[in-house]
Amino acid sequence: MNTLSYHIVVRTPAGIRIGDIFFDFTDEKVSGRIKAPFFEPEFHGIINKDDTLRLFITLDQNGAKQEYECTGRISAYAVHISVPTEDFTYEIDGTTTRA
């Protein structure tokens, strides 16, 4: 299993959140979590050979958890994920972190 982490900026309906995203890769499968103030969803999905992501992310929407399908792109240096919901599209952008 490979693990990557990125510092991120998340655009939410309540404003900008700064945090980190963590990815765990096993073959083409990916899972992980986001850690930002008042925004800590988990996700799972696949990574394609062209470094595009197809993820399912669970968001707490008005007290109810709901899963959304989203897409993104990842490289060794950056990540971008777009999460469309009924009311808002969350945009997540980040750059790699180093231990």
What is the DSSP track for 63-88? TEEEEEEEEEEE-SSEEEEEEE-SS-
**Do 45 and 23 form a contact (C-beta atoms < 8 A)?**
no
Please give the pLDDT value at position 61.
73
Q: What residues have CB less than 8 Å from 50, skipping those under 6 apart?
A: none
Please give the pLDDT value at position 96.
92
Question: What does pTM read for this prediction?
Answer: 0.89
Please give the pLDDT value at position 62.
74
Question: Mean pLDDT in runs of 10 for the chain (99 residues)?
Answer: 92 94 95 94 96 94 88 96 94 86
Please give the pLDDT value at position 95.
97
Please give the pLDDT value at position 99.
52
Please give the pLDDT value at position 97.
79
Please give the pLDDT value at position 98.
66
Q: For the chain, how long is the longest CA-to-CA vector?
A: 37
